[in-house]
Structure 1
Amino acid sequence: MTRKYTIGVDFGTESGRVLLVDVMTGEEIATHVTQYKHGVLDEVLPNGKPLQQDWALQHPGDYLDVLYQSVPKVISMAQIDKSHVIGIGIDFTSSTILPLDKLGNPLCFDQKWESNPHSWVKLWKHHAAQGEADEITQLAKEREEEFLSLYGGKISSEWMFPKILQILKEAPEIFEETDLFMEVCDWITSRLTDNLIRSSNTCGYKAFWSKQNGYPEPSFFKALNPRLENILETKMRGAVQSIGEKAGELTEEMAQRLGLLPGTSVAVGIIDAHAGVAAVGAVRPGQFVMAMGTSTCHMLIADKEEKIEGVCGIVEDGIIPGYYSYETGQVAVGDSFAWYVDHAVPSYIVKQAEEAGKSVHQLLEEKASNYKPGQSGLIALDWWNGNRSVLVDANLSGTIVGLTLATKPEEIYRALLESAAFGTRKIIENYTEAGIEVNEIFASGGLPQRNKLLMQIYADITNREIKIPDSNQTTALGAAMYAAVAAGELRGGYNTIFEAAENMAKVKEETFLPIVENVRIYDELYKYYLELHDYFGREKYEIMHGLKKMRSLDNEAE
């Protein structure tokens, strides 16, 4: 029997990864990574023009480089016949959006607009649209819009319409010139197929769309800004299609560029973290998946819909068909650990790591492992890039309490690890208190593979077993699985994501189990975390808001 393959393309924050997978077994045959040449544009544009605080942009050409370089590379590495590749699937960070011209090209490709920051890709962690997000939330509350309850009662600056509204207000000329606003995930599938299709996954979680009601009424957008009244039929046009379906087939031009055959199935795109849900086999109610990297996205499969504070989205058929899929998240996890290592660790720790032939992260993990819970006397809030769940407030910031002249770097590092786990526990309890079961926890992404101390801390703080996927490329594997479903059984794929998960998803036998004594101590520390959480996040949030405003004024003065 001829082996069949699918390709998963995982577009992350710093790079794109392409994975070639055996459809029948889930075996990962070949993988290749292309780093984004321009990285994250958070200080200046490629031409040197400065950016304001809280901006995060990217160069869309970097995404095309991933396709043109890494897809042919995995075919070459695997030495397979391209006719045996039955499908390609795309996953992407979200909400990452870009404005397109009438030819479907990014406006920033045009010299006329390249110096205008609003013509570029707005990355998911672009937080400069917080004011617009608050404006949308306020209007939705005043009008008692039903869609607001599906997003925890508060709109995030990271989503599609706050970013569009910011463009309209700050760069009306860009808004006028834009023919289409699209999630980059959907733009990539349209480039591959020449079909204008929007994903139910990206629209449902990031653009107020629901399977039952579609988008909000035009009257809502008109009330937000008169120029938005017809946006759904103009700049947001395009049929919404369900994940697991086929967005189209590879065009002659793109097939030639990628080294594949024309007519190869292309799956409807999916948010990167969401792709990992199927990849770990979490396709039933009560299964909770943490996609852990620079940030953490939590996905929970449930058989009912409940209105819960701070949920980033509740979408029917959103990730797994037939169920409701909930999303929550923490904006800075790996990013906060990296911040500490890159900017705050003393030079003697760096020297020790170099002498030991280890990374600073590895050295700090080893040193921090020697401490018992609570021994450092520190506790931290995990808000180094704001709070996504459950407070939905990008103006909050990180805090470490308990520092003394005797505090060591590894103690701070451990407190940061613990803060991420405390934030996750708060999110889990938010679900269970609302009557949504959390029965199993899976941790995917780069962090669980690299940091065993972190995962043991998560098990102890949540008092739950943590399962790890048996794959280093979980999101890319998930995208490849949806590609197998889009191709269908007749082409050698699957008819449902449940069939694909049964054959292609894999979890390691080794798990992380809570340690009874650690659980007891962390229960005490968690009470302190909750007090700080509510004090700075609910009662006295003006403190952090005011400090952030002062930073903005200082930047303006410069």
Structure 2
Amino acid sequence: MKKQYVIGLDYGSDSARSVIVDVATGEELASSVKYYPRWIEGKYCEPAKDMYRQHPLDYIEVMEYIVKDALAKAGDGIAENIIGMSFDTTGSTPVMVNEQGTPLALLPEFAENPNAMFVLWKDHTAVKEAAEINELAHNWSEGRTPETIQRIHPTFHMPNVFKQDFTKYEGGIYSSEWVWAKVLHVLREDEAVRNASFSWIEHCDWMPALITGKENPLEVPRSRCAAGHKSMWHESWGGLPPQEFLSALDPVLDGYRDRLYKDTYTSDVAVGNLTTEWAERLGLTTNVKVGVGAFDCHMGAVGGEVTPNVLARAIGTSTCDIMIAPYEQIGDKLIAGICGQVDGSVVPGYVGLEAGQSAFGDIYAWFKKVLAWPIENILAKSEIVDAATKAKLIDETMDAIIPQLAEEAMAIPMEESTVLAVDWMNGRRTPDASQEVTGSIAGLKLGTTAPRIFRALVEATAFGSKAIVDRFAREGVEINGIIGLGGVAKKSPFVMQTLADVLNMPIKVATTEQTCAFGAAMFAATAAGAYEKVEDAQKAMGKGFEKEYHPIAKNVDAYTVIYNKYLKLGVFTEHNNI
């Protein structure tokens, strides 16, 4: 039988990667990774303002490289046997488009305008707009006009019997990380973009549309995952919120609902085949089917072989916690304070549940940057050593900071772990989204060292994880196991052991290095017809688990006490606007 292969493409925050996988066995033939060139230069971002934008050319150029590079590594005769490809991306990462579906930044007049670019998931410029969406959604009455509901009246509350809360399947709190808040912010801020915009599209929807020639905003097959978790889409109210609701938010949204979509699709469905142009540009054939896209952590859970009632944690710059649950378990239950419960958003046939932390590895990276300030700003200017030696010294030191901190922090006895931190340096995604809260560190003394602070930061990220697990439990969602996915899970025993101790649960680490890309490959195989269900692709292509961390009893008891202090510090920090 002729061999068949698929390509999974994973678009992360800093880079994109591809894997070429054998459909029958899951063997990885080749992979390729490339950083976004403009992003790495720091273009179009203002971290002090929580503004993070990415140029669509970064996505296009990187795709061409990682596909062709992986094909070259895989060897002769592979390209013609590729039957499918699928994408996962960060999210919510939308962009404004014109009537042809072209992102505005690809037009000459908007080529350098950040508002015409993709608004990255961690962009928090739309905090004000998210608050307005929540206020309106929590006081909206179906069938009433904006004037009738008096949305701006601070004392008005519609009786519950009349309410239709469009956030209720997204945890009841709409986030500034999500699409409608971002779109509203951009349209308000930039008149030129507002006048040129016809619609918007998520990154995970745009990539398949681009290479299959289905860019028309009215015809693009939209991801169930993106729509259900981030854009208030639900079948019970006919898709997206009604135009009346959107216009009540701001007239700049007038007409947008008719220029978007009603139906959505799970990722086992094919968008179409590669166009002739893109087949040539990527070195493939037009026989390649392209699947409906989804968000990275959702496909990562599939690549990590998630099963019902097992929490898959994609642990990287942030975390995304994904579960699938049977319909009969969820029923009419609304899970408060998470990032959504969506039919088929992870595995078709199950309800997908999403939670997560706005920063995890990013917190460690922030602390590294703080410590590295003298290296980057003083040592870099030194004339004591030659330029080549200086560059090597800087690179060696920068690479060693986190591993050395982890080694020293792990050696600190539990009873001496007296520094306490709260992990909201980039806001809080769950439980109960708020991008206005900030992180904090307490218990500092003159004898406090960098490893002690680092240990507190690692513990804080673990405590933030426990808050999520506790919320699921409080809401009646059963968790029977935990899977660790991603770079932190595979590379940091200290972090993973701390997590196991704090959660008091074993954690299995997926063998697959690139679980998100592998999940995309599994969906590509299903969309291309090689498998009837993605669960079948998981069984055939999955690689199992390489390690399991077990909680240490004495640490569990100690962390129970420290976790309660973490909760108190979090309440104090939030309520006092620190």
Aligned to 1:35: 35
Shift, 1:506, TM fit: 2.3
Residues 410-455 of structure 1: CA deviation (Å, up to 9, x unaligned): 1111111110110010110101111100111001011111111000
Aligned to 1:148: 167
Residue 86 of structure 1, aligned match among 69, 83, 87: 83
Identify which range, 137-146 or 104-113, moves more after superposition: 104-113
Aligned to 2:233: 209
Q: Contact 2:297 / 2:314 at 8 angstroms: preserved in 1?
A: yes
Q: Contact 1:345 / 1:409 at 8 angstroms: preserved in 2?
A: no
Query: Segments of 4+ in structure 1 off by > 4 A?
Result: 345-348, 350-358
Distance in 2 between the 1:318 and 1:388 partners? 19
Residues 197-240 of structure 1: CA deviation (Å, up to 9, x unaligned): 21111111111112443111222112112342421112x24752
Aligned to 1:435: 476
Q: Contact 1:278 / 1:505 at 8 angstroms: preserved in 2?
A: no
Distance in 2 between the 1:399 and 1:346 partners? 20
Matched, 1:317 2:344: yes
Q: Contact 2:7 / 2:18 at 8 angstroms: preserved in 1?
A: yes
> What pairs with 1:55-66 in structure 2 (closer than 5 Å)?
55-66=51-62
Q: How many residues align structurally?
A: 531
| Identity between Structure 1 and Structure 2 (%) | 34
Aligned to 2:44: 45
Aligned to 2:551: 514
CA change 1:160–1:346 in 2 (3 A) is closer
Shift, 1:101, TM fit: 2.2
Distance in 1 between the 2:560 and 2:551 partners? 12
> What pairs with 1:286-305 in structure 2 (closer than 5 Å)?
286-303=309-326, 304-305=329-330
Identify which range, 388-397 or 219-228, moves more after superposition: 219-228
Aligned to 1:248: 272
Aligned to 1:14: 14
Distance in 2 between the 1:359 and 1:307 partners? 45
Q: Contact 1:180 / 1:237 at 8 angstroms: preserved in 2?
A: no
Distance in 2 between the 1:113 and 1:221 partners? 26
CA change 1:254–1:290 in 2 (3 A) is same
Residues 115-146 of structure 1: CA deviation (Å, up to 9, x unaligned): 43311211111100010000000000111333
Distance in 2 between the 1:27 and 1:37 partners? 30
Matched, 1:383 2:424: yes
Matched, 1:231 2:256: yes
Shift, 1:175, TM fit: 2.0
> What pairs with 1:178-193 in structure 2 (closer than 5 Å)?
178-193=197-212
Q: Contact 2:336 / 2:475 at 8 angstroms: preserved in 1?
A: no
Distance in 2 between the 1:396 and 1:64 partners? 35
* Structure 1 residue identity aligned to 2:128: G
Shift, 1:26, TM fit: 1.2
Q: Contact 2:19 / 2:28 at 8 angstroms: preserved in 1?
A: yes
Distance in 2 between the 1:359 and 1:22 partners? 36
Distance in 2 between the 1:354 and 1:410 partners? 20
Distance in 1 between the 2:292 and 2:47 partners? 33
Aligned to 1:426: 467
Distance in 2 between the 1:353 and 1:36 partners? 23
Q: Contact 2:188 / 2:252 at 8 angstroms: preserved in 1?
A: no
Partner secondary structure for residue 88 of structure 1: strand
Shift, 1:510, TM fit: 2.1
Distance in 2 between the 1:237 and 1:215 partners? 8
Partner secondary structure for residue 233 of structure 1: helix
* Structure 2 residue identity aligned to 1:274: H
Identify which range, 66-75 or 513-522, moves more after superposition: 66-75
CA change 1:352–1:458 in 2 (3 A) is farther
Partner secondary structure for residue 229 of structure 2: helix
Partner secondary structure for residue 201 of structure 2: strand
Matched, 1:107 2:104: yes
* Structure 1 residue identity aligned to 2:319: T
CA change 1:206–1:358 in 2 (3 A) is closer
Aligned to 1:532: 569
Distance in 2 between the 1:326 and 1:509 partners? 25
* Structure 2 residue identity aligned to 1:99: M
Q: Contact 1:376 / 1:407 at 8 angstroms: preserved in 2?
A: no
Residues 86-129 of structure 1: CA deviation (Å, up to 9, x unaligned): 10010000011111223332212223223433112111111000
Partner secondary structure for residue 95 of structure 1: coil
Distance in 2 between the 1:206 and 1:145 partners? 17
Partner secondary structure for residue 172 of structure 2: coil
Structure 1 unaligned runs (5+)? Answer: 545-558
> What pairs with 1:129-528 in structure 2 (closer than 5 Å)?
129-143=126-140, 144-195=163-214, 196-213=220-237, 214-234=239-259, 236-237=260-261, 239-284=263-308, 286-303=309-326, 304-305=329-330, 306-344=333-371, 359-488=400-529, 493-528=530-565
* Structure 1 residue identity aligned to 2:568: E
Q: If the length of structure 2 is used for normalisation, what is the TM-score? A: 0.88
Residue 68 of structure 2, aligned match among 47, 72, 97: 72
Distance in 2 between the 1:170 and 1:483 partners? 38
Residues 389-430 of structure 1: CA deviation (Å, up to 9, x unaligned): 113111111111111000111111111111011001011010
Distance in 2 between the 1:60 and 1:443 partners? 31
Partner secondary structure for residue 264 of structure 2: strand
Q: Contact 2:10 / 2:89 at 8 angstroms: preserved in 1?
A: yes
Distance in 2 between the 1:318 and 1:97 partners? 18
Matched, 1:124 2:121: yes
* Structure 2 residue identity aligned to 1:442: I
Q: Contact 1:251 / 1:263 at 8 angstroms: preserved in 2?
A: no
Shift, 1:465, TM fit: 0.3
Distance in 2 between the 1:220 and 1:99 partners? 20
Partner secondary structure for residue 164 of structure 1: helix
Q: Contact 1:197 / 1:238 at 8 angstroms: preserved in 2?
A: no
